[in-house]
């Protein structure tokens, strides 16, 4: 074999092995074996040779052609295998990785409290009622014996829409609506959101109350004390101390605020209550000689904070999962 032929072969072999993609390999193939490729040109140059040398030279070039074709096809298989291997590796699933779990939500602490309050009172024979959050001033104030000029209106920092409509400042208007609809005797609780213009570590502009109302014949203050003691012991699952402190609400007479003795020896106010004022019954056309009853309104946030030792009321509304997920 001539020097130039063996050099050509060596170079072609080197180029083939250096290919790193099928595309590159194809250009190398065209470069050497294509119609105008180096090896093909050598074949064409046969005509210029002495006829005696032609068979020998031709044979050599054909052998080179065959060798290079074989080498290309081997390289092609190799590159194909590599390509498949790479794509398998890329798509592979690492089964030793920890799985992605979707965490399960839990009930908001205030909803837990509301559910418990409802359950306790339902077991004591109460129905659960509801009322509008956008209330008129008649149901929020007037019907509850708080006339327009009454100072108690100023006690509630009310969000007004206009002269007539407001965001209810307590759940007591539901008392009125329940009696308007169902008359007496009645035994209901009414949980819900209430609104006041107030915001600090113990107040938020929106909070929750549960109203209670019992009207029947021969209802007196001991019934009220009894139901509240039973409720509190059941809610805290413990024997708790309550203090009934004389107070004033225009819609109850007598009225009391109830304090609960906390673990650290402090009395904390949890609700307002009293015997429904005869004038409230009168406003609704209910015979207040025949019927009497009691009402109470308790703060749901306050009860929840006492139960779980939560110090800042705003935590309930910050949607911080590290806080919320503690209440399973
Ligand atoms: N509505 C009163 C308040 O929000 C609480 C209350 C309810 C008091 C029922 C007496 C009777 O402060």
Quote the number of domains for the chain: 2
pLDDT of residue 283: 95
Same domain, 194 and 260: yes
Domain assignment present for residue 96? The answer is no
Whether this prediction's pTM lies above 0.95 is answered by: no
Last residue in a domain, options 58, 91, 124? 91
Q: How far is the CA of 141 from the centre of ligand 1 (A)?
A: 12
* Boundary-marking domain end, from 91, 117, 150: 91
Q: How big is the chain by its Cα radius of gyration, in Å? A: 45
- Residues 231 and 189 both lie in one domain: yes
Residue 147: inside a domain: yes
Which residue has the least CA distance to atom 12 on ligand 1?
Answer: 272
pLDDT for the residue numbered 264: 85
Q: Whose CA is nearest to atom 7 of ligand 1?
A: 297
Say if residue 291 is in the same domain as residue 148.
yes
pLDDT at 1: 67
Are residue 139 and residue 70 in the same domain, yes or no?
Answer: no
Integer angstrom CA distances of residue 214 from 97, 138, 194, 319: 60, 21, 21, 36
CA 107 / ligand 1 centre spacing (Å): 27
Same domain, 225 and 154: yes
Q: What's the domain range around 55?
A: 2-91
173 and 58 in one domain? no
- On whether residue 103 sits in a domain, the answer given is no
Kindly state whether residue 311 falls inside one of the protein's structural domains. yes
* CA-proximal residue: ligand 1, atom 9 (nearest): 296
Do 170 and 27 reside in the same domain of the chain?
Answer: no
Q: Which two tokens stand for residue 180?
A: 């308007």
Atom of ligand 1 nearest to the CA of 209: 4
> What CATH number does the domain containing 115 carry?
3.30.930.10
Burial bucket for residue 174 (CB in 10 Å: 0-12, 13-18, 19+): buried
pLDDT tens for the chain, residues 1 to 328: 677 888 989 999 999 999 999 999 999 999 999 888 888 888 888 888 888 888 888 888 888 999 999 999 999 999 999 989 988 888 888 888 888 888 888 999 999 999 999 999 999 999 999 999 999 999 999 999 998 888 778 767 899 999 899 999 999 999 999 999 999 999 999 999 999 998 888 889 999 999 999 999 999 999 999 999 999 999 999 999 999 999 999 999 999 999 999 888 999 999 999 999 999 999 999 999 999 999 999 999 999 999 999 999 999 999 999 999 999 8
Q: What is the pLDDT of residue 111?
A: 98
Which ligand 1 atom is the nearest neighbour of the CA of 170? 4
Q: Are residues 145 and 224 in the same domain?
A: yes
Tell whether 72 and 121 lie within a shared domain: no
Question: Are 57 and 202 part of one and the same domain?
Answer: no
First to last CA, the chain: 88
- Residue 104 domain-assigned (yes or no): no
191 occurs within a structural domain: yes
Closest CA to 42 of 73, 68, 15, 70: 68
Residues 37 and 114 in one domain: no
Residues 183 and 286 in one domain: yes
């Amino acid at each position: 074999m001539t020097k130039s032929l063996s050099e050509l072969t060596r170079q072609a072999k080197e180029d083939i092995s250096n290919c790193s993609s099928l595309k590159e390999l194809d250009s190398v193939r065209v470069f050497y074996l294509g119609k105008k490729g180096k090896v093909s040109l050598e074949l064409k140059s046969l005509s210029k040779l002495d006829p005696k040398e032609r068979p020998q030279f031709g044979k050599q070039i054909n052998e080179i052609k065959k060798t290079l074709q074989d080498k290309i096809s081997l390289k092609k298989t190799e590159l194909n295998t590599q390509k498949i291997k790479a794509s398998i590796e890329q798509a592979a699933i690492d089964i030793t990785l920890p799985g992605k779990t979707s965490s399960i939500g839990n009930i908001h602490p205030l909803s837990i409290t509301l559910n418990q309050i409802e359950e306790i009172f339902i077991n004591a024979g109460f129905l659960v009622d509801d009322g509008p959050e956008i209330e008129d001033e008649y149901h929020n104030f007037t019907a509850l014996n708080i006339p327009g000029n009454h100072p108690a209106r100023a006690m509630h920092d009310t969000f007004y829409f206009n002269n007539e409509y407001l965001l209810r400042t307590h759940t007591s208007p539901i008392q009125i609506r329940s009696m308007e609809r169902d008359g007496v005797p009645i035994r209901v609780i009414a949980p819900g959101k209430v609104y006041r213009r107030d915001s600090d570590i113990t107040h938020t502009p929106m909070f929750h109350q549960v109203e209670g109302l019992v009207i029947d014949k021969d209802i007196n203050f001991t019934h009220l004390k009894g139901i509240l003691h039973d409720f509190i012991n059941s809610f805290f699952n413990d024997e708790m101390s309550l203090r009934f402190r004389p107070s004033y609400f225009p819609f109850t007479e007598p009225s009391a605020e109830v304090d609960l003795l906390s673990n650290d020896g402090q009395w904390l106010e949890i609700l307002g209550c009293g015997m429904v004022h005869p004038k409230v019954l009168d406003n609704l056309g209910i015979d207040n000689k025949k019927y009497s009853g009691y009402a109470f309104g308790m703060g749901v946030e306050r009860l929840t904070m006492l139960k779980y030792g939560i110090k800042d009321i705003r935590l309930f509304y910050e949607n911080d999962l590290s806080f919320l997920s503690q209440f399973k």
